[in-house]
Structure 1
Amino acid sequence: MTTPLDTALFGIAFLSGVLLCTLGAYCNRRWDEPGVTAFGMFTLLLGIGAVVGGAVGMAFGASGPSRGPPLWSDIAFLSWAFAMLPWLVFALEYTGTYTRLRRRTVALLSLPLVGVTGLVFVSVFNLPVDGVILQTIGSLATVHVFFLLIIGIYLVVRTTHEYGHLSLGQGIVLGTAAISPLFILNITPTLLEDVGLTAAATGYAVGFLFPAGLLVFALFGFEIFESTPAAGTVGEQAIARETDDLIFVVDDNERVIKLNPKAAEEFGLSRTEPLGKPISDILGVTLEELRGMETYERRSGVSRQQFDPEISSFTDQHDRQLGCIISLHDVTERELRKQRLEVLNRVLRHNLRNNVDVIKSNAEVLAENGHDDRAEAIIDSADGLADLGHKARSIDRFVSRRIHETERDLVAVAEEVIADRCERSDNEVEIELDAPESASLVTDWEALTAALDSSVGNAVRYADTTVEVGITEYATGYRITVSDDGPGIPDSELAALDAGSETPLQHGTGLGLWRIKWGIKKLNGTVTFTNESGTTVQMTVPDRSVS
């Protein structure tokens, strides 16, 4: 006999079904993400089973045409079994494992469910069917339904565990919502037989109310369709794993979903640390700002690199944009060579032309008038040309090749450079070296010596009375300072250095300052020029033995 409490419990199952149906319809209207349609169908089928079964339970209680399990129990099992097909489709699309399921594939997966339907009809109406045939069909259909269930749970739990921006709890909640109706509803016939209708109705109500609550929590608590793992899976498949480019995969909210090992190594990150964070936290610029950049510049301590950014969108089979793939191609060497060639071209053309004109005009005067006092001007200009050629060759040699690391004493090298410059200079100035007794350093000494030579040479040439050279140690290398009390570097030359190129209206008078800048840049160091009571050149040189 059905009591008011039993009716109320079946009513709870009925209302749970209404909630599930509403949830399915809401998902299809609210989101357009991979797996939404299948998820809506999954909740709708569960909901239909709860609504119909709850209505049957309220109307008939434990009675019905079947001598076996009550009709509402068979309806619940049938709706759950059919819900397993969209559950698997949802798992495949949501995780991005397989987003191009054909209708033929779905139809083939649904064929065994016909057997489940037949079993329920046989059970409900006691149809005369051979026991062996019935048992075979039942076993195959049950195995198939469990296959759909388990594969779907595995995909969802594994994917939410792998992706840092998702929660493992999210996968567990979804998997539990799929499997819980089977366990709970499976015991209702036993409860009906051993305990009574009230216990069975309680189990039936819980069997639908519990997964309904889990699915509501998954949708609005975990926000499963706000950032789907399909973005990471589909994007990951598009990555060329062996590339030297830095690759980031972001969803349509500009959150990092995946990055390749090269990007993780370059930014000093683990493979999971940046996941779920905005790409602007990693790159320092938004996706929109990156799109407008010709080159992206990254500074890391004393190092500076330049990259060509490429941004491409990726979509699913319905042409819905899931996110973007960001590729950063290192063009530091290319930009450096371009800058070097540009400067060498302009400086050599300008200076060689001027000096050759001086040589030519003075030589013509000498030839016509026989004045030997013109010879000094010719010699000076020729010396200038020779020095310019030497600096150009030096720059091209150390910038073009790979870094060659060796260990030497920086103080000893500085003393050699100072002695050489004093010997070659006509400007009698006092040079003071403030340095420790020794300073062991692993670096490319050709590049460093060239930069140090030009720094000391410029200071000796333009100083009034004194040049000071200082060497101090810092955390990862040494800081070299060269100061003089001369007139300072012309603003036009500093402007050309800051701009990174030379123009007809903005250029230097030689290669000395560029030799300093490029030599230190080759070593991933930094250089600054200060005009205060003379000129101060400060260079930081990393010790390449320090990791």
Structure 2
Amino acid sequence: MAWHLSSISALGFAAVGVHAALVAVGWRHRESRCGTEIAALHVLVGLSALAYAIQIGFGSVAMQRRWWQVTFALSTGVPILWLVVVVQYVSRSQWLTVRRAALLALEPLAVLIATATNPMHHLVWTVPSGPTVVDSTVQVAFGPLYYLHVVFAYTAVAIGMGLILLVGVRMSLLYWKQVAVLTVAPLPPFLSHVAFLLGMSPIPGVDLTSFTFAITGVLVVLGLYHFDLLERVPVARRRAFEAMGDGLVVLDSDRVVVEVDDTARRVLDPPPDPGDHVSDVFPEHAFEDLKGTTVTDGRSRAYDIRLSELSDERGDEVGYALALRDVTGRHRYEQRLEVANRILRHNLRNDMNVVRGYADIVASGTVEDAERAAESILSRTDDLLTVSDKARKVSELEDTHSETPTVHDVTEIVASAVRRAERGYPDVEFAFDGDAHARAALTDANSIGTATEELIELLVTESDSEGLRVRVSVEREATADSEPSIAVRFASSGDGIPEVERRALDAGSETPLQHAEGLGLWLAYWCVIENGGELRFADGSGGSAGDRDAPVDGDSPGDGVDSPAEGTAATDLRTIVTLRFSEPDE
């Protein structure tokens, strides 16, 4: 009888189309683990489905028997290929030696030979006499070799599922999606074949195994390529976490982000998300140059990037790990050393040149000139001693950023520093107000007093002290888009902080062409950031600011602290600097 397209044949051709698509997917990932094996597996199953779809279209026993023989011959190698895919997935390719592969191949080869010679011995199947084409399919009686092959195939499937489950147990629940999908994947064809042998197929007499294997293929591809490239090789994920620093970004072999932890998401700007290409995360750096790059987060913490290639036990490249190592202590120490060194050399050279010039005047000038020169020499040496004293304080700063913060009363710390300033600068009119007992989480509370004194000194010494007013306030702040914080504001009626000081701080370092006059502002900045705080200028032009602080315009004084002296006008004071610290969690 001639061939005709039946509904079952159409279903088979649809399955062949799915297998062809899966072959293309496997081939596209041929450079990756399991890609080639998946393509080979679906080539074999797709050809078997094609042969079976063609078989069902014939109405004669002879043609169906001939095509059934082709269908069965093609399917004999499927269990072994499935086992190879699983072995590659669990990174046990070294187990599949040439000798073992040859031994495993003996079974399908023997069944293939038995299939070709079946008319001579009928050990694989026989065609009963009588009407043998029922519901478009030939009816055959299976022989002992067929059932032995079924046992071998079921064993291979069971071993594969066991290996996948073993990986899931050993690697905890990190891979539960992949393990679940790959464990369930072989069930549709397995159950279809069992139903066929028991005479319970949804379509009577039709073996849907090669058709339902398309479902297996889709599940396998989802497990390997949709749920994260690296998770298809558990050893790669394990090694990524072994290489993890304080933050981690995991990339696949195409340099696409597949996983990012909370630290890396906080540090990097813009925060990376799965699916982003590495060039979107680091637009200003070539991928090859990322190793050794230092990035800084919004809290002035520095992180070195370590770039590691991820490979499996076979040596195949499966991705990359970008580990962020916290080097804040080293970074701040190097910054302090560089700044102090440049300022000391700059001031020492300039001041000593001036002192030498005045010394020449003392040696050869009139008595009146000598007296004026001596006064200038004393002033310059006092400046050098002041810078030297601040350099000592810089050298004594401790790296406390990684210590557990404790709660301190910022109001009392700042108030004490203001009282000391009042005694040191009697010609300056000071005012202090704010919230009583404003508490913050600090790692070095004493350094907050140092920062307050240094900022007050800058505001006083850079302005004419006659009629100068300085106001310091401590306030609790809580906005809808930020965490509760304690703000310490410094306002002055004088000239404020020189622009050159602010530019140097904004640049983050001293350069040969850009020098601060002293270490006071730097010292205050380092004291603040060691406590996890921020130093901001009112006009956003320096420090780590980036936003504006409103001027202090007659805020209501808090309870329990000194209020501005009577007659002091707050409206002519402008906020110069604001310090912010985190309030402790309740």
Quick check: TM above 0.5?
yes
SS of equivalent to 2:511: coil
Aligned-partner Cα distance in 2 for 1:144–1:214: 19
Does 1:431 find its partner at 2:434?
A: no
> 1:446 and 2:459 equivalent?
no
> 2 CA distance for matches of 1:517 and 1:305?
13
Kindly indicate whether residue 323 of structure 2 is the aligned counterpart of residue 348 of structure 1. Answer: no
Match of 2:6 in 1: 8
Pick the aligned partner of 1:527 from 522, 528, 535.
535
SS at match of 1:199: coil
Question: Matches of 1:9 and 1:327 in 2, distance apart?
Answer: 56
CA drift of 1:414 comes to 1.7
Question: Are the equivalent residues in 1 in contact too, given 2:295–2:302 (CA < 8 A)?
Answer: yes
Residue 123 of structure 1: how far off its partner (Å): 7.9
Is contact 2:259–2:274 with CA below 8 Å preserved after alignment? no
Contact 1:235 1:325 in 2 (8 A): no
TM-fit CA distance, 1:462 = 3.3
Number of aligned residue pairs:
515
Cα distance in structure 2, aligned partners of 1:45 and 1:60: 25
Separation of aligned partners in 2, 1:253 and 1:492: 46
3-state SS in 2 of match to 1:38: helix
Within 2, Cα distance between the matches of 1:236 and 1:277? Answer: 17
The CA distance in 1 between the partners of 2:46 and 2:243, in whole Å, is 48
**Which residue is equivalent to 2:36?**
37
Match of 1:333 among 325, 329, 352: 329
The answer to whether the 8 Å contact 1:395/1:519 transfers is no
Which of 198, 204, 228 is 1:199 aligned to?
204
1:381 is aligned to 380
Structure 1 residues 253-264: aligned runs within 5 Å: 253-258=254-259, 263-264=261-262
Alignment partners' CA distance in 1, 2:404 and 2:46: 71
- SS for the counterpart of 2:455 is helix
Q: Whole-Å Cα distance in 2 between the matches of residues 82 and 514 of structure 1?
A: 74
Unmatched 5+ stretches in structure 1: 130-134
CA contact (8 A) 2:185 2:220 kept: yes
Report what 1:502 is aligned to. 510
Which of 1 and 2 has higher RCO (CA within 8 Å, sep 6+)?
1
Look up the match of 1:278: 276
Asked if 2 retains the 8 angstrom alpha-carbon contact of 1:399 and 1:518, the reply is: no
8 A contact 1:347–1:508 mirrored in 2 = yes
Per-residue Cα deviation, 1:192-233 (whole angstroms, up to 9, x for no partner):
xxx9xx821xx32x33333336646876x8894796446653
Residue pairs, 1:228-267, within 5 angstroms: 228-229=229-230, 233-239=234-240, 241=242, 244-258=245-259, 263-264=261-262, 267=265
TM-score (ref. length: structure 2): 0.71
Instruction: Please say if 1:85 is aligned against 2:80.
Output: yes
**1:537 and 2:577 are equivalent in the alignment:** yes
User: Structure 1 residues 124 and 46 mapped into 2: Cα distance closer, same or farther (>3 Å)?
Assistant: farther
Tell me the equivalent position of 2:475.
Answer: 472
Contact 2:249 2:322 in 1 (8 A): yes
Corresponding residue of 1:97: 91
* Distance change (3 Å), C-alpha of 1:466 and 1:13: closer
Amino acid in structure 2 at the alignment position of 1:174: A
**Structure 1 position 514, deviation (Å):** 0.3
Q: Name the CA distance, whole Å, in 2 between partners of 1:404 and 1:223.
A: 42
**Structure 1 position 521, deviation (Å):** 1.4
Partner of 2:103: 108
More helix by share: 1
- 1:4-29 CA-partner distances (Å, limit 9, x unpaired): 99x93674576467547745654565
**Amino acid in structure 2 at the alignment position of 1:343:** V
CA gap 1:199/1:161 in 2 versus in 1, 3 angstroms: farther
Deviations 1:278-308 (A, max 9, x none): 2669x953596565556342425xx132222
Q: Where does residue 182 of structure 1 map in the other structure?
A: 193
Structure 1 residue 50: Cα displacement: 3.7
TM alignment of 1:38-187, pairs within 5 A: 38-53=37-52, 79-93=74-88, 95=89, 97-98=91-92, 101-113=96-108, 126=121, 144-153=152-161, 171=182, 174-187=185-198
Give 1:485 deviation, angstroms: 1.6
Match of 1:297 in 2: 295
Post-superposition offset of 1:84: 1.2
How far residue 455 of structure 1 moved from its aligned partner, in angstroms, is 0.9
Distance 1:19 1:60 in 2: 24
User: Which string of whole-angstrom CA distances, capped at 9 and with x for unpartnered residues, describes residues 243-291 of structure 1?
Assistant: 53533321144443355xxx4456579xxx988442669x953596565
Q: What is the CA distance between 1:377 and its match in structure 2?
A: 3.6
CA contact (8 A) 1:20 1:43 kept: no
1:132 matched residue in structure 2: none
Q: For the structure 1 residues 24 and 398, does the alpha-carbon distance in structure 2 shift closer, same or farther, using more than 3 Å as the test?
A: closer
| Distance (whole Å) between structure 2 residues aligned to residue 395 and residue 210 of structure 1 | 73
Change (3 A) 1:449 1:333: same
Taking structure 1 as the reference length, what is the TM-score of the superposition?
A: 0.76
